[in-house]
Amino acid sequence: MGGISIRREPLVLTVSDAAWEILARAGWLTYLNHLQESNETISIEFLQNLQENHSIVRGRHIAVTDEIIAEVSGLAATRPVWMLNKERM
């Protein structure tokens, strides 16, 4: 026991027309399309070498900033801050 669990997501995302419309209005389609084009080996190397503001993949130095993440993902650089206002029982 204590091994690492491996989870794989489906390669093809099936979403209803209504859901596509909601995702499009929220600006998430670009981000989701980037996920479908990802390379697992490169992603793992990127994450393993990720430091405060950069990573190194195949010998290349890659800057990592909020602005670059927003540009690559297609998501806004700013986001609302959600607070939990209810007490847990």
DSSP state of 63: E
Task: State yes or no: pLDDT of 7 exceeds 70.
Answer: no
Separation CA 23–CA 75 (nearest Å): 12
Average pLDDT over residues 1-30: 74
Say if residue 87's pLDDT is above 80: no
Extents of the domains making up the chain: 40-80
Q: What is the pLDDT of residue 19?
A: 85
Average pLDDT over residues 31-53: 79
- Which pTM does this prediction carry? 0.46
DSSP-based three-state secondary structure for 79: coil
Mean residue pLDDT across the chain: 76
